[in-house]
Chain A
């Protein structure tokens, strides 16, 4: 194997600390951002599990965006939704705790399986949980409702 085929890792730079000496090297910048987020590790694990099972069962691509949404909020959420590959089958839940707003965006194919009325129902229960300060619970409840309305593929 030549040097060029070797994938570049943190250890590929000679002279640096090893992973044993500095395990933080192993965590990507995205990983750190997630660990610094508002969720505990247990909540992150449940969220990950919920996203994976709803993706597998429905064949749609569920994603959850948590953060500030620029005005106009709906258009920003739709722009985010467009960034997902196969946006037609993607379902984006965008939550902005500071603005106290949430948006559910369904792609054109996903909309046939999750009607706007179903999405509104999920949004209502999510907003109820968020108003009680339960971010993780609200997101999980919304994912669960949306996935069960979409049905199995």
Chain B
């Protein structure tokens, strides 16, 4: 016969209940958190001011409408080399007083920066 206050634990069960089980629980939870956290290599989201190091991409509903391959890794050299450039120059180059090229073509649009 024992009273309520006379409930005793041996050293072994004390360590088991108060150290090993909490440690195992913490271990399982942190393992789950870490496993869910490493989403691949790096964050793919663009953040202003952080470098953006992706290949240039050209999105079109029907890619066959572009005369040059759209996924070429060097768009600048592609844009300024060969046929396109010669066509642009052959169309007649007008320069304003500042020496900036003014394209005679009636393309419109807008520019902005952030």
Binding site for B on A (CB under 8 A): 29-30, 33-34, 36-40, 47-48, 51-52, 55, 61-70, 72-76, 78-87, 90, 97-108, 110-111, 114-116, 119-120, 122-124, 126-128, 130-133, 135
Residue of A whose beta carbon sits closest to that of B64: A85
Q: How far is the CB of B42 from chain A (nearest CB, A)?
A: 11
Binding site for A on B (CB under 8 A): 44-48, 51-52, 54-63, 65-71, 75-76, 79-80, 84-85, 87-88, 100-101, 103, 105-114
Given B65, B69, B106, which contacts A85 in the complex, CB threshold below 8 Å?
B65
Give CA–CA (A96, B113) in the complex, Å.
Answer: 9
Give CA–CA (A74, B111) in the complex, Å.
Answer: 8
Q: Which of chain A's residues have a CB closer than 8 A to the CB of B76?
A: 68-70, 76
Given the contacts A29-B71, A76-B79, A63 and B48 also touching, CB distance less than 8 Å: no
**Does the CB pair A65–B58 fall under 8 Å?**
yes
Q: Which of chain A's residues have a CB closer than 8 A to the CB of B110?
A: 103-104, 116, 119-120, 122-123
**Does the CB pair B59–A123 fall under 8 Å?**
no
**Does the CB pair B111–A33 fall under 8 Å?**
no
Q: How far is the CB of B82 from chain A (nearest CB, A)?
A: 11
Given the contacts A102-B113, A130-B48, A75 and B75 also touching, CB distance less than 8 Å: no
Q: Report, nearest first, the 6 A-B pairs whose CB atoms are least far apart.
A: A67-B56, A111-B108, A70-B76, A123-B112, A120-B110, A119-B110
Given A62, A101, A104, A106, which contacts B61 in the complex, CB threshold below 8 Å?
A62
Give CA–CA (A29, B80) in the complex, Å.
Answer: 23
**Does the CB pair B61–A38 fall under 8 Å?**
no
